[in-house]
């Protein structure tokens, strides 16, 4: 015979659970109006059919330090796959120990951003890829030297031919960039938030669900929405109230440098928030290391909201649910230099 109190407890627990499920369903329905789970297959990209051969080539290039003038830096150096796809520095350190102007964004899921760089000046990853390789403070190389380097190693020639079988002279700077884009398209990191969007109530803790509700109610979602929870749309940093000069240095006017339109002063692309918990420090200036502080700064500067401590904690719990799982990445084995490979130079010539 069942004890009456046990029966009562079971019923209460069942009722709570059913109510929880209904609430989770409502929250999910609302969330799906603003967000989209990651795709289960490699996203396609514009003007660049993705093939296994192109991915393999792109992976080799991504890891190859010989794309830099010094031989010290590869794409992986500042987009380190062990640490969230970025470099955990305020701004990257590059050729000649120079500091870059802005924080290195994560490469993870970057293929799903509407445009690349903090100011969206590159349309896509194949346009973006050419930037750091040539930037004097980053890899400090030239397209000519990159092509000479790649042509000096016969294995690269074979890989380019396999990746671009229809071309008679496939080793080009453009194709290098396309292969890099193809590889990066594989760096998709499904997270608990995706599992929640896909129907798993238990994927988000109660606090993370509260945070998600707040994220929508407070208006964060106005800029940070879509599959990457941001990564599309341009907004002034300091819409309501400009943050301090340390966080928003006056001499970096953001998208103004791209469009030369006064309205674009201090305008940046809304940051994609996937893996934000593992990609400190924050903002283009990289001056804030604590995610909760970053959330509070955003609330004040963009929404004019002073968050309670509990609200900020819930929002952080939601953001934590955006930390995804890196696909298994095996270190590629690269071809050795030959007699015709340009030698690395540590000199600062520009």
Binding positions for a second copy, rule: CB under 8 A: 60, 63-66, 70-72, 77, 80-84, 87-89, 93, 96-97, 99, 277-280, 289-290, 326, 328-334, 336-337, 339, 343-344, 346
Least distance to a second copy, CB of residue 258, Å:
28
| Cβ proximity to a second copy, 120 vs 190, nearer residue | 190
95 is in an annotated binding site: yes
d(CA 187, CA 109): 6
Instruction: Assess contact for 347 and 68: CB atoms under 8 A.
Output: no
Instruction: Assess contact for 306 and 299: CB atoms under 8 A.
Output: yes
| Cβ proximity to a second copy, 194 vs 264, nearer residue | 194
Closest-CA residue to 321 (of 167, 191, 129): 191
Q: Residue 300: beta bridge partners?
A: none
* DSSP at 226: B
Q: Residue 269: beta bridge partners?
A: 234
| Cβ proximity to a second copy, 156 vs 268, nearer residue | 156
Least distance to a second copy, CB of residue 31, Å:
24
- Residues 6 or more apart in contact with residue 205 via CB below 8 angstroms: 317, 321
What residue ranges in 99-166 does DSSP mark as E strands?
none
284 is in an annotated binding site: no
223 is in an annotated binding site: yes
Task: Given the residues 36, 90, 114, 138, select the one marked as catalytic.
Answer: 138
Least distance to a second copy, CB of residue 9, Å:
35
78 is in an annotated binding site: yes
Is residue 311 annotated as a catalytic residue, yes or no?
no
DSSP 43-89: PP-TT----HHHHHHHHHHHH-GGGSSSS---HHHHSBGGGTTB-SS
Instruction: Assess contact for 117 and 123: CB atoms under 8 A.
Output: no
Instruction: Assess contact for 256 and 267: CB atoms under 8 A.
Output: yes
* DSSP at 271: P
220 is in an annotated binding site: yes
Least distance to a second copy, CB of residue 14, Å:
36
Q: How many CA atoms lie within 13 A of 288 on its CB side?
A: 21
d(CA 87, CA 91): 8
| Cβ proximity to a second copy, 2 vs 97, nearer residue | 97
| Cβ proximity to a second copy, 66 vs 232, nearer residue | 66
224 is in an annotated binding site: yes
Annotated binding site for heme c: 75, 78-79, 95, 220, 223-224, 298
Annotated binding site: 75, 78-79, 95, 220, 223-224, 298
Which active-site residues does the annotation give? 138
């Amino acid at each position: 015979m069942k004890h009456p109190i046990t029966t009562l407890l079971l019923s209460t627990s069942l009722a709570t659970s059913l109510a929880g499920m209904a609430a989770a369903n409502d929250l999910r329905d609302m969330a799906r109006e603003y967000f989209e789970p990651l795709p289960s297959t490699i996203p396609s990209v514009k003007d660049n059919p993705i093939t296994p051969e192109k991915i393999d080539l792109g992976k080799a290039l991504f890891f190859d330090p010989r794309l830099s003038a010094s031989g010290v830096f590869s794409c992986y150096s500042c987009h380190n796959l062990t640490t969230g796809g970025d470099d955990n520095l305020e701004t990257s350190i590059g050729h000649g120990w120079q500091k870059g102007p802005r924080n290195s964004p994560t490469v993870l899921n970057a293929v799903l951003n509407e445009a690349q760089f903090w100011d969206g000046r590159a349309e896509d990853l194949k346009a973006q890829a050419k930037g750091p390789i040539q930037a004097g403070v980053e890899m400090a190389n030239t397209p000519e030297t990159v092509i000479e380097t790649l042509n000096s190693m016969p294995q690269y020639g074979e890989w380019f031919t396999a990746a671009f079988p229809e071309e008679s002279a496939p080793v080009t700077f453009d194709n290098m960039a396309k292969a890099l884009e193809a590889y990066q398209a594989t760096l998709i990191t499904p997270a608990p938030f995706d599992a929640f969007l896909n129907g798993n109530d238990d994927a988000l803790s109660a606090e993370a669900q509260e945070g998600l509700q707040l994220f929508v109610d407070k208006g964060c979602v106005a800029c940070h929405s879509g599959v990457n929870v941001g990564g599309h749309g341009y907004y002034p940093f300091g819409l309501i109230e400009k943050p301090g000069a340390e966080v928003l240095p006056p001499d970096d006017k953001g998208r103004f440098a791209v469009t030369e339109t006064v309205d674009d002063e201090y305008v940046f692309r809304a940051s994609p928030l996937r893996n934000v918990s593992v990609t400190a420090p924050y903002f283009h200036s990289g001056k804030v290391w604590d995610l909760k502080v970053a959330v509070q700064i955003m609330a004040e500067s963009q929404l004019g909201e002073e968050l309670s401590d509990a609200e900020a904690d819930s929002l952080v719990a939601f953001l934590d649910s955006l930390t995804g799982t890196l696909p298994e990445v095996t270190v590629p084995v690269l071809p050795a230099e030959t007699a015709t490979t340009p030698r690395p130079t540590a000199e600062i010539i520009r």
